[in-house]
Amino acid sequence: DADVTQTPRNRITKTGKRIMLECSQTKGHDRMYWYRQDPGLGLRLIYYSFDVKDINKGEISDGYSVSRQAQAKFSLSLESAIPNQTALYFCATSPIGGYNEQFFGPGTRLTVL
């Protein structure tokens, strides 16, 4: 089984809809991250969490919210989706005490019409 899983893997939705992307990990890592990737561009950090009670904004958090339900689960929500949120979304984890290397999930391809 994959260490970092994301659901759904693909989603098509309409403008204005609320969408939740979920991430689960079995690596036992405390740190979790959400990134988005646009075609031909690098990854941009949306939110990150060091533990269940710690949530931090990344560089592009506007229009997004997150929930850290447990050490192993970190969800990303788009409260009212808009077309420029169409992107590939990645969840990542990182161990505390390591060298901050990050381990990524397979991604969710989101299309907002």
Partner 1 sequence: DAKTTQPPSMDCAEGRAANLPCNHSTISGNEYVYWYRQIHSQGPQYIIHGLKNNETNEMASLIITEDRKSSTLILPHATLRDTAVYYCIVRAIFGNEKLTFGTGTRLTIIP
Residue 24: CB minimum distance to partner 1, A: 14
Q: Indicate the residue among 17 and 52 with the shorter CB distance to partner 1.
A: 52
Dihedral sign from CA coordinates of 60, 6, 16, 82: positive
**Minimum CB–partner distance for residue 80 and partner 1 (Å):** 26
Tell me the longest C-alpha to C-alpha distance in the chain: 42
Q: In 33-92, which residue ranges form alpha helices assigned H by DSSP?
A: none
Compare residues 60 and 72 and give the one whose CB is closer to partner 1: 60
Residue with tokens 């192993």: 72
Rg of the Cα trace of the chain? Answer: 13
User: Could you tell me the smallest distance in angstroms from the CB atom of residue 41 to partner 1?
Assistant: 8
Using alpha carbons, select from 92, 87, 23 the residue that is nearest to residue 60: 87
**According to CB under 8 A, which one of 16, 28, 83, 106 is a site residue for partner 1?**
106
| 32 beta partners | 49, 93
List the interface residues with partner 1, window 19-58 (CB under 8 A): 31, 33, 35, 42-43, 45, 48, 56, 58
Q: Under the rule (CB under 8 A), what is the footprint of partner 1?
A: 4, 31, 33, 35, 42-43, 45, 48, 56, 58-59, 88, 90, 92, 99-107, 109
